[in-house]
Amino acid sequence: MNHACSTLHPESKSLWFAYLIAPSVAPLVFAIAVFVSGLTWLQPPENSTGTPIGIILVPVLSLTVGMVASYLVAGLIGMPIAFHLRNRNSLNFYTIHGAAFGWSVVLGCMVGVMVFVFGSPRPPISAAILSALAVIGVLSPFILLSATTFWWMVKRNVHHVSLRTAFVATTLIAIVLGMLAAFFRG
């Protein structure tokens, strides 16, 4: 049976347990990917010795801000959606990931609107659209990774999938995202 299509009917306790774990995955993987790929190395000016503090500071800041933001968004938006989908007998892989991707698009569009409205001088609409697409492209994999973790945690409690399987799959996805970030860095 294809478990992705099957509707999950978890208890509230299972949903809250998944909420405790899943939102932390995206900022954690993002911080690891940024650290591993070396995207934090700040190029010093020509006459400066520079400092490698960015190697630690950027991942720590992204982890700190990301954790707070992830739990707020998951608590205020994600959990009500999960409970609503469960009550409508529609909680499955596709609805969880569709809602997560939809919210990454909404966040990207909000950034695009902010760039257009608050940019000084006012940028062309193409810059706002490119900003929105960039945010969607950067955030979507991490938001979908949290959605996958949420789905695995809920599925684990419903279909008794081992926690080790979920951890191994999440770790493999994190490694692939880190390698992709390093590859695109050049």
- List pLDDT tens digits, range 41-79: 555 555 555 456 666 777 788 888 888 988 998 899 889
- List pLDDT tens digits, range 85-127: 888 988 888 999 999 999 889 988 998 888 888 887 878 888 8
- Residue-level pLDDT at 105: 93
* Cα–Cα distance measured from residue 29 to residue 126, given in angstroms and rounded to the nearest whole number: 30
* Contact between 169 and 144 (Cβ < 8 Å): no
Bigger pLDDT: 32 vs 159: 32
- Residue-level pLDDT at 121: 82
Q: Which pairs from 82-86 meet CB under 8 Å and 24+ separation?
A: 82/15, 82/19, 82/150, 82/154, 83/12, 83/15, 86/8, 86/9, 86/10, 86/15
User: Phi-psi bin for 89: left (phi > 0), alpha (psi -120 to 50), beta?
Assistant: left
- % residues pLDDT > 70 (the chain): 69
Bigger pLDDT: 158 vs 133: 133
Question: Can you read off the two tokens belonging to residue 50?
Answer: 């520079």
Rg of the Cα atoms in the chain? 19
- C-alpha to C-alpha distances, 43 to 130, 144, 182, nearest whole angstrom: 25, 32, 17
Question: Can you read off the two tokens belonging to residue 149?
Answer: 């973790």
* Contact between 177 and 33 (Cβ < 8 Å): yes
* Cα–Cα distance measured from residue 18 to residue 100, given in angstroms and rounded to the nearest whole number: 15
- C-alpha to C-alpha distances, 90 to 11, 13, 24, 81, 85, nearest whole angstrom: 14, 18, 24, 10, 5
